Amino acid sequence: MPRVDLTGKPIVITGASSGIGYSTALACADAGMPIVVVARRADRLDALVETIESRGGRAAAVTGDVSDPETSKHAVEVCIERFSGVYSVFANAGYGFEAPVHETGIERMRAIFETNFFGTLHLVEAAVPHMLKAKSGHVLICSSCIGKIALPYFGAYCATKAAQNHVGRAMNLELRPHGVMTSTVHPVGTKTDFFDTAKSLSETSGATLADHAPQWLMQTPETVAKSVVRCLERPKPEVWPSWAWLVRFGMAISMAFPRVGDLGLKRLVREYEEAEHGRRDQPAGKLDRTNSSARSA
Measured CA angle at 70 (ends 66, 73), to 5 deg? 95
Which of the following is catalytic: 87, 153, 157, 272? 157
Question: Going by CATH, does the domain composed of 11-282 fall within 3.40.50.720?
Answer: yes
pTM above 0.75, yes or no: yes
| Calpha distance 120→140 (Å, rounded) | 10
The Cα-based distances of 258 to 67, 144, 253, 269 in angstroms read: 34, 19, 8, 16
pLDDT-based confidence at 200, cuts 50/70/90? very low
Query: Which of the pair, 219 or 89, is modelled with greater confidence?
Result: 89
Average pLDDT, whole number, for the chain?
Answer: 85
| Calpha distance 30→222 (Å, rounded) | 13
**pLDDT value for 270:** 74
157 classed as catalytic: yes
pLDDT-based confidence at 252, cuts 50/70/90? confident
**pLDDT value for 45:** 98
**pLDDT value for 6:** 98
pLDDT-based confidence at 192, cuts 50/70/90? low
Mean pLDDT of all residues in 3-26: 97
Q: Is the pLDDT of residue 285 over 50?
A: no
| Calpha distance 285→206 (Å, rounded) | 14
**pLDDT value for 28:** 98
Per-residue pLDDT of 93-143, as tens digits, reads 999 888 889 999 999 999 999 999 999 999 999 999 999 999 999 999 999
Residues sharing a CB contact under 8 Å with residue 15, sequence separation 6 or more, in sequence order: 21, 38, 39, 66, 92, 93, 94, 142, 296, 297
**pLDDT value for 63:** 98
**pLDDT value for 279:** 60
**pLDDT value for 189:** 66
pLDDT-based confidence at 287, cuts 50/70/90? very low
**pLDDT value for 15:** 96
Q: Is the pLDDT of residue 205 over 50?
A: no
Count of other CB atoms within 10 angstroms of residue 90? 29
Count of other CB atoms within 10 angstroms of residue 172? 20
pLDDT-based confidence at 242, cuts 50/70/90? low
**pLDDT value for 254:** 72
For residue 83, give the nearest of 19, 34, 148 by alpha carbon. 34
Q: Are 95 and 297 in contact (CB under 8 A)?
A: yes
Q: Is the pLDDT of residue 284 over 90?
A: no
Q: Is the pLDDT of residue 185 over 80?
A: yes
Mean pLDDT of all residues in 31-58: 97
